[in-house]
Chain A
């Protein structure tokens, strides 16, 4: 059962990392305009001033 001492904490670390990423994405407003983000990716052929700010 020594494998458990490695695998279980590892699984928890992965899970917590995913949860942290989700909360960060939510806080930074990435869930606010899902439709826009979906179509925006198709229209980036001209240099824009906005997106990196």
Chain B
């Protein structure tokens, strides 16, 4: 996980540079060493274990290591595996927030300090923590809570994490690379002897050729499997791809070399075939490595959002069960602050829900008994009972996911530049090779075995190598550079599509804005009123109350009573709506009133969903890159117009439903535009998947993130224009690389056709062209640093 640059957080207005001693988040001046009670507890825990060295050893303190005040309701004990007949248990957890070796060390040491823990091992790149302990399964709760108290977020290791991490295909590639590397080096050892040993006797040469065949043939057959499989799949689907050209080249070369060995010809080409495989496999392993890191982080983000629900049994007692097991008609207990996982209706009473993820509205809405509750909304009031109307696989979220899948398939038909090059390259090269063979065999009258040599030489010298790594090399460098800047590229063709986009459609709530209300400063307000109000507000989950606490962190006052939908009461002090505080004022949406006592003057706290600090700058940067911009929001017109004006966005549309957003994207595509969609909500997911390329900002909903090609992980939007610029540079480099490898062929192919090419020349051409392409690709990353 890339750490959020400290400069961004420190530059947020209203904060001093003082940092929390545990998590490193900014702390208001005079508020002590810690940003919250959780961090203070974590620090005490670490000191108590004698592990303070962690604070000196870690690489960055980015404010992410903050224990949450309400850990998710997960029963870890249900995920425990018994070992040795129930005497021992083990548990696998996905730990988010492991950013450096010191974090791994801290987690392992803290767990090892527990007397019954036998083994605790965390993987930094897999984020997987395996714990084994002696004793009952219920200890899982304590151990997971211990890690959570340190500030890491833990969820049970799920099948989704497993798929991203275990990656059997990657292992197979790595093994193939090892075998090809071994073969290439040893065959080269023998080949060089033949090339330089001009005075070598025929018997010795034949021996060396037989040895080369002995090593080369099995290596070609085993290490080439990834290519043969992919080529075979492509042929069965009626297409030719680059892997087909590679497979044919390698197999033909091996066969021709075997025939030359049998005939005791002057040269064999086993070195070329094995070196080609080794180079291509190296490129593929690197490409996979870059993508694996991205998939890992995405799986981690999604795993953190999946959860379990509290099912109310016939006896009225809640039980924690996985979402998948819920059927329509079941009754669920939705705790305060919990996200609704399923569609349903409110059974009784009243509920206050934050529906911003599903509709884009920035303020919570009140629902009456019997009202349908949308999945994805967050409970902002007190706990309530929900009767489920649709199981997870039939609900609105699943319907949205299916829509996304369809769009994904449509996008899968996008033909990348590498495939376009392969479609041109493959028939041309194979025609050339066939013509060479026929020319030497029928035209000149050579025996067919001898005529085969220049033909196959033409096949292997046309540099399928440089062409096959021309685009992947650039991708590896660009995806890696973006990963370091906190941009996750989730689709292999995303960069190409991003480079081509010409219009940006942005969502407002949560994308252009922070997605949460912030307290507006008011110089006339007495400071002690803010502190007193914040102490009351710390007891509530209402977004305005949370904003108040964020503006003035303070411990929660004891004995505060919350009247849902109205406000908070603590003795005579009241915090809430105007009517609740007895103020003669019109009800304004983003205002809280506070009255310390019956005789005291009421004080208003006004809030606004502030723009991200770099929103205007990011929009300006997009304009500079030649993209036109447009704001599309589900929020009301005044707020949308204001945001558009503040950021300099040309056109805007308010009260857009998810269907409106999708229709707008479709209309843009029908006009021939290539829109980039940036959105964070469930209501944006359809538009995201329809757009030419899509991105979602940090903190977006899981649906939006899985629909997006790019996930901006770092806070802020400035990474987006940077990503567009990077994608364009990468695209330019990919074109140059394809140009390079074709230019090589202009010289190499005629030489091969005339029978002038020797294996030495082929090796030189192959190595130098591949090197050229790789060096050019590296330039993409270098320019990004400048």
Give A14 to B526 CA distance when docked, in angstroms: 80
List residues of chain A with CB within 8 A of the CB of B105. 40, 43
Asked if A6 CB lies within 8 Å of chain B CBs, one says: no
Number of B interface residues at 8 Å Cβ cutoff, please give it. 34
Q: How far is the CB of A16 from chain B (nearest CB, A)?
A: 8
The answer to whether A19 touches B178, judged by C-beta atoms less than 8 angstroms apart, is yes
Chain A-chain B contacts (Cβ-Cβ < 8 Å), number: 78
The answer to whether B119 touches A36, judged by C-beta atoms less than 8 angstroms apart, is no
* Known contacts A43-B57, A43-B105: A49-B112 contact under CB 8 Å: yes
* Known contacts A15-B185, A49-B118: A34-B125 contact under CB 8 Å: yes
List residues of chain A with CB within 8 A of the CB of B190. 8
**What band does the interface of chain A fall in when counting residues whose beta carbon is under 8 Å from B?**
20 to 34
Give A8 to B207 CA distance when docked, in angstroms: 11
The answer to whether B112 touches A50, judged by C-beta atoms less than 8 angstroms apart, is yes
* Known contacts A12-B186, A26-B175, A49-B117: A38-B101 contact under CB 8 Å: yes
Q: How far is the CB of B300 from chain A (nearest CB, A)?
A: 14
List residues of chain A with CB within 8 A of the CB of B125. 32-36
Asked if B120 CB lies within 8 Å of chain A CBs, one says: yes
* Known contacts A12-B186, A23-B175, A43-B57: A50-B120 contact under CB 8 Å: yes
Q: How far is the CB of B500 from chain A (nearest CB, A)?
A: 34
Q: How far is the CB of B355 from chain A (nearest CB, A)?
A: 40
Which of B117, B119, B204, B211 interacts with A1 by CB under 8 Å?
B204
The answer to whether B108 touches A48, judged by C-beta atoms less than 8 angstroms apart, is yes
Asked if B189 CB lies within 8 Å of chain A CBs, one says: yes
* Known contacts A26-B171, A43-B102: A32-B186 contact under CB 8 Å: no
List residues of chain B with CB within 8 A of the CB of A19. 178-179, 182
List residues of chain A with CB within 8 A of the CB of B123. 32-33, 36
Asked if B37 CB lies within 8 Å of chain A CBs, one says: no
Q: How far is the CB of B348 from chain A (nearest CB, A)?
A: 51
Which of A1, A4, A26 interacts with B174 by CB under 8 Å?
A26
List residues of chain B with CB within 8 A of the CB of A42. 57, 101
Give A36 to B124 CA distance when docked, in angstroms: 5
Q: How far is the CB of A38 from chain B (nearest CB, A)?
A: 7
Give A11 to B123 CA distance when docked, in angstroms: 37
The answer to whether A49 touches B126, judged by C-beta atoms less than 8 angstroms apart, is no
The answer to whether B108 touches A50, judged by C-beta atoms less than 8 angstroms apart, is yes
List residues of chain B with CB within 8 A of the CB of A22. 178, 182
Tell me the A13-27 residues at the B interface (CB within 8 Å): 15-16, 18-19, 22-23, 26
The answer to whether A53 touches B119, judged by C-beta atoms less than 8 angstroms apart, is yes
In the complex, residue of chain B having the shortest beta-carbon distance to the beta carbon of A22: B178
List residues of chain A with CB within 8 A of the CB of B175. 23, 26
Give A51 to B185 CA distance when docked, in angstroms: 35
Q: How far is the CB of B223 from chain A (nearest CB, A)?
A: 11
The answer to whether A39 touches B178, judged by C-beta atoms less than 8 angstroms apart, is no
The answer to whether A40 touches B101, judged by C-beta atoms less than 8 angstroms apart, is yes
The answer to whether B124 touches A33, judged by C-beta atoms less than 8 angstroms apart, is yes
Chain B 201-232, CB-CB to A under 8 Å as 1, else 0, gives: 10010010001000100000000000000000
Q: How far is the CB of B66 from chain A (nearest CB, A)?
A: 22
Asked if B144 CB lies within 8 Å of chain A CBs, one says: no
The answer to whether A39 touches B179, judged by C-beta atoms less than 8 angstroms apart, is no
Asked if B104 CB lies within 8 Å of chain A CBs, one says: yes
Of the A-B pairs whose beta carbons lie under 8 Å apart in the complex, a sample of 6, sorted by A's number, is A4-B207, A19-B178, A32-B126, A33-B126, A36-B124, A40-B124
Residues on A facing B (Cβ under 8 Å) = 1, 4, 8, 11-12, 15-16, 18-19, 22-23, 26, 31-36, 38-40, 42-43, 46, 48-51, 53
Known: A40-B104, A43-B105. 12 other contacts (CB 8 A): A8-B211, A11-B189, A26-B174, A31-B174, A32-B126, A36-B101, A39-B124, A42-B57, A46-B109, A49-B118, A49-B120, A50-B121
